[in-house]
Amino acid sequence: MNENGGIMIHECNSRPPALYYLLLFLMFRFPLLLCSYIGAAWLVLDEATTSLSSFAPDASSIVSSIKYHAEFTPLFSPEKFELPQAFIATAQTVRDALIINWNATYDYYEKLNVKQAYYLSMEFLQGRALLNAIGNLELTGPYAEALSQLGYKLENVAHQEPDAALGNGGLGRLASCFLDSMATLNYPAWGYGLRYKYGLFKQQITKDGQEEVAEDWLEMGNPWEIVRNDVTYPVRFYGKVISGSDGKKHWVGGEDIKAVAHDVPIPGYKTKTTINLRLWSTKAASEEFDLNAFNSGRHTEASEALANAEKICYVLYPGDDSIEGKTLRLKQQYTLCSASLQDIIARFERRSGASVNWEEFPEKVAVQMNDTHPTLCIPELMRILIDIKGLSWKDAWNITQRTVAYTNHTVLPEALEKWSMDLMEKLLPRHVEIIELIDEELVRTIIAEYGTADSDLLEKKLKEMRVLENVELPAEFADVLVKSKEADDISSEEVKISGEEEEDDDGNDDEVVIVEKDGTDKSSVEKKKEELPKPVVEPPKLVRMANLCVVGGHAVNGVAEIHSEIVKDDVFNAFYKLWPEKFQNKTNGVTPRRWIRFCNPDLSKIITQWIGTEDWVLNTEKLAELRKFADNEDLQKQWREAKLNNKVKVAALIKERTGYSVSPDAMFDIQVKRIHEYKRQLLNIFGIKGKKTFVPRVCIFGGKAFATYVQAKRIVKFITDVGATVNHDPEIGDLLKVIFVPDYNVSVAEMLIPASELSQHISTAGMEASGTSNMKFAMNGCLQIGTLDGANVEIREEVGEDNFFLFGAKAHEITGLRKERAEGKFVPDPRFEEVKEYVRSGVFGSYNYDDLIGSLEGNEGFGRADYFLVGKDFPSYLECQEEVDEAYRNQKVRLRPIKAWSDLTYSQLYCYHL
C-alpha cells in the first residue's frame, strides 16, 4: 500500500529476470509462439508484477510485431498495408504490451483482495488511445522509429484512429481523466460503461446549421477492446413480482437480455499498473430468434427480440420525447447498473473464497455513481442482497449505504433526473417496491427529526426531500399531516360558517333570478354549476433520482468549491441540514499527461528544459520552479515560438475542416464546449458585434447541440451564419474571423487548446458545476475571461486576480436579478438592444431569428425573459473584452507568476500571452 492507501505494484526480485526478458523477446519477435506458452509463463510469473516499463523493446522488435499482426490478426485484407492497416496493427502490438501489465495488475489485486473502486458512468470520452498508451509506456521514440522503418510517420498513423464515441461532454471526459489518474496513482479501480455502437452523433455543419448523422467509430473495428464472451450477465425488464412460499419476493417473467463484457486496458504513466474499462454490449439469447416465424416469411417478427436487445446500446442519450425513447433510456441505465453490480458481486464472492461475509462488502467495494444516471445501483444492490443473497432489509440497507457514493454534476433542475413512476413500475416492478420502502424509511427519518408539531414545516420537508414526488404518504403515516392540521382546519371552518349567508328554513339558498341576453332566466344555482372549476389534472407520479442518490449513499460531492456550496445551500439544503457529514467537495481534475505532456510537446520540452527534469508530469508542484525564470528572455522566446507553432497547426485544421483561412498572427479566442444556453455562446457572439474596437482575432467555437434542443441548434446556426458573413467581407479581412469547428471532440481539443491565447468560460454564475476545459486551457498557458462560476473561482485564486479577466453577476445575485426582471425593472443596455436589432435586420441571411432573440426579451414566460442573464452581463462583458484588447496590444516580454496545483486535482501553468 502507498501512503494514500493506494496499491503500488512493485517489481518482484524473487524470480530470475532472464525468463522475463525471454518472454518479451518472444512477444515482439514471435508473438504466435508466445501465445502457446503464455499460460505456462504466468504460472511461473504469477507473483511477479513486471511490465514493459522494465525492459523497453527496440524499434526492430516493434517492426516484427507490427508485421505479425498485419499478417496473422488483421482486420483488413492482406493485399496492402496502408495507413488504416498500419494503425490497427500498431495498436494491436501496444495492446499486447498492455495485457502483460493488465493481467499482472489484476492478479495482484486478486491475491491481496484489496478494496477496489468501481466508477460507473454513462459516458467515457476517451479520445484517441494510441499516442496516450505508448506515451504512458514510454515507448513513443521506439514506435516512431519502427513506423519510420515501415515508411510511415507515427503522427499520421495515430491520426487514423477515430475518437471512441462513448461520451459527449465534460461528464465523460472527467470519467476518462479519472481512469488515467487512478492508474497513474496506482489505485485499484475499474470503470464501467456502455459500448455505444453509434455514440451521440457525428456533427455536420451545413447551410441549415447542425445536422446529425450516425457516428461510425466501430466501422473498422476497435483494436483496443477484448470481447469477454464468457463474462455475460442476465438483465430483466417488465415481468411481475410474486411472493414465494419462503416469504421471499421473486421477480419473474418479462423480457430477458444478456450483457456482454468488452474490456479496454487503461495504462498508468510510468507505472506498472494498468486498470480496466469494462463496457457492456447487449444481445438476446439465440433461442429468442423465432426460426419458425422467419421461415414463414415473418422476418421482422422473428428477430424482434434480438433487435430490442441490441438497440439498448446503439446510441448515447437517445431522444426521450416519446415514451419509446424514455423506455430505452431507462433500459440503458438499468443495464449499466445491473450488469456492473452482478460483475462486482461475482468478483467479491470469488475473492472471498469459501466463506462470504457480506458485512465486509463495503470494506472491499466502493461504487461511485457519476451523476444520477447510475442511480438504479441503489435499488439493484438491495434487490440482489435481499432477493438473491437472502439478507434482511436492515442489513442490505446498511451495506448499500456504506458502499455507494454520488457525484453531483449540475444545479439545473431539468438535469436532476426524474422518472415516471408508471413507466418504472412497468419496466422494473421489483425496483419500484424497493424504492417505495426506501421512501418510507426516509419519511420515518424526517418525522423523527422534525416531529409533527409544526405541520407546515413537516409538510415542506416531506415535499422537498421525499424520493417519490406526487405520491401519497405510506399507509403508516397517512394521517400524520391530517392530525397535525386538525386544529387549524377546525378554526378555518368556524370562520367560514360565521361568514356565510343565512339559509331559508328549508335549507335552500335564496334564489336570485338572472335574465340572460336571450331573455331566459337562470337560477344562481345553475350559474354556480357552470362556474364550477374544471377537474384538476393529477400531477404525474415521479421518482426523484437525485434524492435517491443522497438517501442511498454515504457521500455526496460537488465538483468545485462554489458548486459544492450551492449543493449544500440550495440544491440539497434540506438533506445537508439532516446529514451534513455526507457532503463533500471534490474539485474536478484533468490528467496533465494527455493535456500537456502529449498534446503540447513543444511546451512540455520547454518546461522540462528549464526545470531540469520531467518529474513535473507526475508531480505538478514542480512547475513552481519556473517562477525563477519568469523574466528570462530566452524562455520568453521559446514560449512564443511554441505557441506560434501550435497556432499554425490549428490554422491548417481550420482550413481543412471549414475552408476558411486564418492568420496565426491574430489572437486565437476560443470557446469550445457543449452548446447550451447557460454556457452562453450567445453572449460571446453578440459581444463580437457589441465591441467597437478590435485587435485582430480569430473567434473559434466548437461543440454539439443535443439533437432535440432546438434553441441550442439555433445558436449553432447563428454562429455559422455570422461566420459566413464576416469571413467573406473583404473590408474586415484578417481583422476578424468567426469559425465554428464541426464535430468537436477530444482530438480536436488536443489541437485547439495548446494554440489558445484567450479562452471563454462565461456561463451564468452558479450554473456551471465545474468545467474541466478551463483547467486544460490554463495548463497550456492561456488567458481566461469568465464569470465566478465552477472551477473558474479556484483558477482565479491560483493565478491571481490580475491574471483572470472577470466580469458578470455573482452566483448569490442571480435569484434577485431574475426577480427584478420579472417585476419589469430591468433596463437593457442600448448596445445590447442595438445588437438584437442588427440581427433582426437580416444582415446574416434569410433565416428568421425571432425565436432566438425572443428568448432574451420579455419579463416572464417559458423560453423568454433572458433566464441566463445574457443582457444583464452584456455591458460588463464588453468592458472586460476591452481590457483583453488592451492587454494584447501592450504585451510584456515576461511571464506572469506560475503556480502549481496538486496532481490529485489538476495542475495550473499560467503564462501571460506573449
Pairing status of strand 209-213 against strand 202-206: antiparallel
Known catalytic residues are: 409, 673-674, 679, 772, 776
Residue 43, number of CB atoms within 10 A of its CB: 7
Cα–Cα dist 184/38, whole Å: 26
Domain boundaries, the chain: 59-317, 335-474+542-586, 601-811+896-905
* CB contact burial 313-337 (16+ within 10 A = b; e otherwise): bbbbbbeeeeeeebbbbbbbbbbbb
Residue 125 vs residues 2, 180, 370, 698: alpha-carbon distances, Å = 29, 12, 13, 27
Q: Which CATH superfamily is domain 335-474+542-586 in?
A: Glycogen Phosphorylase B; (3.40.50.2000)
Q: Are 279 and 195 in contact (CB under 8 A)?
A: yes
Q: Which three cell numbers stand for residue 554?
A: 454515504
Alpha-carbon torsion, ordered 770, 775, 776, 777, to 10 deg: 110
- Give SS3 for 828: coil
Residue 189 vs residues 186, 233, 579: alpha-carbon distances, Å = 9, 21, 28
Please tell me if the domain spanning 59-317 has the same topology as the one spanning 601-811+896-905: yes
Q: Which CATH superfamily is domain 59-317 in?
A: Glycogen Phosphorylase B; (3.40.50.2000)
Cα–Cα dist 182/186, whole Å: 6
Residue 381, number of CB atoms within 10 A of its CB: 27
The sheet carrying 365-370 orders its strands as: 226-237, 255-267, 274-283, 189-194, 116-120, 365-370, 404-407, 555-558, 583-585
Name which of 29, 30, 20, 31 is nearest 55 in CA terms. 20
| CATH code reported for the domain at 601-811+896-905 | 3.40.50.2000
* CB contact burial 144-170 (16+ within 10 A = b; e otherwise): bebbeebebebeebbebbbbbbbbbbb
Q: What's the first-to-final CA gap in the chain, in angstroms? A: 45
Rg (CA), the chain: 31
> Where would I find the H helices in 626-726?
633-658, 681-690, 710-726
Q: In what helix (H) or strand (E) does residue 731 lie, and over which residues does it extend?
A: none
pLDDT score for 538? 87
Q: Which residues of the chain have pLDDT under 70?
A: 1-56, 482-534, 892-914
pLDDT score for 900? 34
State the pTM of this model. Answer: 0.87
Q: Which three cell numbers stand for residue 792?
A: 473558474
Instruction: Tell me the residue type at 152.
Output: Y
Residue with cell 449499466: 336
